[in-house]
Amino acid sequence: MNRAFEAHVAQLDRIDVVVNCAGICWKKRVVELEDDEWKQMLSINLDGTFYVARAAARVMERQKAGTIILISSGQGITGEAGFGAYAASKGGVARLGEVLAEELGPNGITVNVVNPGLTFTRLSRDTFKTEQDWRAIAARSTLPRLGRPADVAHLVVFLAGPGSTFMSGQHITTRGRSPGQLSGPHDWVFDEARALGAELPEGM
């Protein structure tokens, strides 16, 4: 990773912004997790973020400027049943962001953490499959739609731009979420999910 960053600097002189957003997820109770599944989740979601952020920080400290944006998750703030490995990995990303902001701030480097709620991607489509899953998602949203990648991307662009130069060590969440459960049938979620490409069983 260090060689990759140094090669970039050799070609373009500097690195201004780095966004860590690779990740995997699946739904499985802690007692059912295999050792390899736990290690894989932490390796990709947490270790990968650490290696990229560390390499970026080494370059940015030399140039006394830069922005690092870590993509954590709402699960990194409050874990939910079935997401033990994912929540642990994303919680680690969130704490890493806080530490990096403290350590790198004196060199003019900003570090912020984005915590998306459910965002409809291939990953979420493959993770949530049952009617119960989708109704639970809808019951937490005050907005009658699912999050989209563009909702997260717009925030990342802001954090990478001039409007956020006095923001560091912050956790920003993208989710149209209520702090509690909202009553109602929430049938809108099935049409919304289908419109975005989810393959849901008939009758949902």
Q: What are the residue numbers of the active site?
A: 86
User: Hey, what amino acid is at 141?
Assistant: S
CA angle 196, 83, 118 (to 5 degrees): 30
Q: What is the dihedral of CA 113, 119, 125, 131, to 10 degrees?
A: 120
CB 18 within 8 A of CB 66: yes
Give strand pairing partners of 174. Answer: 116
User: Hey, what amino acid is at 10?
Assistant: A
DSSP summary character for residue 78: S
- No. of helices (H) and no. of strands (E), the chain: 8, 4
Tokens representing 15 are 């690195």
Pick the closest to residue 9 from 69, 68, 55 (CA basis): 55
CB 117 within 8 A of CB 173: yes
- List CB contacts of 94: < 8 A, sequence separation 6 or more: 70, 72, 76, 77, 113, 115, 171
